[in-house]
Amino acid sequence: MHLLAACPNRSFLEAHGFGLEHYIAEPLRVEEGFAIAPDRPGHGIAFDWAGLDKIRA
């Protein structure tokens, strides 16, 4: 997401529905058909460790 936000000629973002959004602290936000890039540094993914703890094997 951050890389696309930095590119002047971006066009598409592919997102998969594997259920991972349930275990990410701030999942991808889409508003009016546009993905909203977070304003924090990094790759944009912070895991919800408490949520992941519930399914620990």
Reported as a single tens digit per residue, the pLDDT across 5-26 is 788 887 787 777 678 888 888 8
**Residues ≥6 apart with Cβ < 8 Å to 46:** 24, 25, 26
Q: What is the mean pLDDT of the chain?
A: 81
Residues 13, 35 contacting (CB under 8 angstroms)? yes
pTM tops 0.75:
no
CB 44 within 8 Å of CB 2: yes
Would you place residue 32 in the very low, low, confident or very high pLDDT band (cuts 50, 70, 90)?
A: very high
> From CA 6, how far away is CA 23, in angstroms rounded?
26
- Span 40-47, mean pLDDT? 75
